[in-house]
Amino acid sequence: MEASVKTAGLVLCLVAFLGLPMSGIPASAEELVRFESAPVKLSAFRIRKALEQGEILSQPPGMPLLGYLSRPPGDGPFPAVVIMHGCDHMRLSVKDLWPKRLVRWGHVVLVVDSFTTRNLKDTCRSHLPERVFDAYGALDFLSKSSFVDIRRVALMGFSAGGTATLDATKIGGNEQLMERKFKAAVAYYPACDVNRGNPGVPTLILIGERDNWSRAERCQKSLSRLRDDVPPVELDVYKGIYHNFDAPEFTAGRRVLGHIEKYDPDAAAKSIRSVYAFLRKYLQ
């Protein structure tokens, strides 16, 4: 009897850790919210040139966006995570599983929808640099919520959203134009680039060794060239693992544009533990 109770307790702890539904424990309600991307600020050079030519430039507005907000019960203020989806838009694990998991860990979660208001279906053959401004628009939106501790907000992205996460938090990028900053960054299988620049915040990168879409060796090469004085970067490379390894909707595996996407439960569980420890370290 005692052994059964202990086993049941361990199962409940594991279920809660992974963010899976449990009867009797209410999940945070997801709320559709509207906000704008951070406006692209005009550079001093562009303003000066316009004045020399007798032009008056107006500040371009932000892009209207949709988002999905989830939060733990209580008044907070809580740490928060802004989530950026991949090039294939809003899959189940990004819109549902990860927010539920993060809420159970005590975080407010805002999943940014970068495509609907732009009438985009995917960007898997292109690049959308404006997503950096979407991330900061989400951060500004959260700053108006009394239940969010705006000093403890991480940016988290998947695939193309992971690449946008690295771009949004690098030193000398658009982050220098923003009033509010992210505290940490988590990037699942991003496209690492040795010329992307140095990270401005502690960063966790999780990637599969056999991912031929977001190549692990590029991340390893990029990290080898970082300056010694930058914030810490953790790189988890999972041997024999492909793209989208954390997403159960790819259990059967599939090939997209010549790239294999396949869920792996062991790698997914390891990565979840890494994310949990990383957020506890940098957002608590």
Does residue 19 lie in a domain region?
A: no
- Mean pLDDT, rounded, of the chain: 85
The single-letter code of the amino acid at 220 is: Q
Per-residue model confidence as pLDDT tens digits over 144-169: 999 999 999 999 999 999 999 999 99
The pLDDT score that the predictor gives to residue 105 is 97
pLDDT exceeds 80 at position 229: yes
174 Cβ contact partners less than 8 Å away, ≥ 6 residues apart: 132, 133, 136, 167, 168
How do residues 190-226 score in pLDDT, each as one tens digit?
A: 999 867 788 999 999 999 999 998 899 999 998 888 8
Question: Which whole-number Å values give the CA distances from 244 to 118, 141, 168, 219, 235, in the listed order?
Answer: 24, 29, 21, 16, 16
Q: Quote the percentage of the chain above a pLDDT of 90.
A: 62
What are residue 169's phi and psi, to 5 degrees?
A: -115, 10
Domain presence at residue 20: no
Q: What is the pTM of this model?
A: 0.84
Determine, yes or no, domain membership for 21: no
Query: Is 2 a member of any domain?
Result: no
Q: What are 2-51's pLDDT values in tens digits?
A: 343 333 344 334 444 444 433 333 344 589 999 999 987 655 555 555 56
| CB-CB contact of 28 with 71 (8 Å) | yes
Q: Identify the pLDDT of residue 60.
A: 66
Residue with structure tokens 């594991």?
A: 14
| Total domains present in the chain | 1
Measured between alpha carbons, how far is 155 from 83 in angstroms, rounded to an integer? 6
Q: What is the CATH number of the domain that holds 175?
A: 3.40.50.1820
Alpha carbon of 187 to those of 3, 155, 216: distances in Å?
A: 39, 8, 12
Q: pLDDT tens digits for 93-144?
A: 999 999 999 999 999 999 999 999 999 988 888 888 899 999 999 999 999 9
Which residue range(s) make up the domain with 102?
A: 27-283
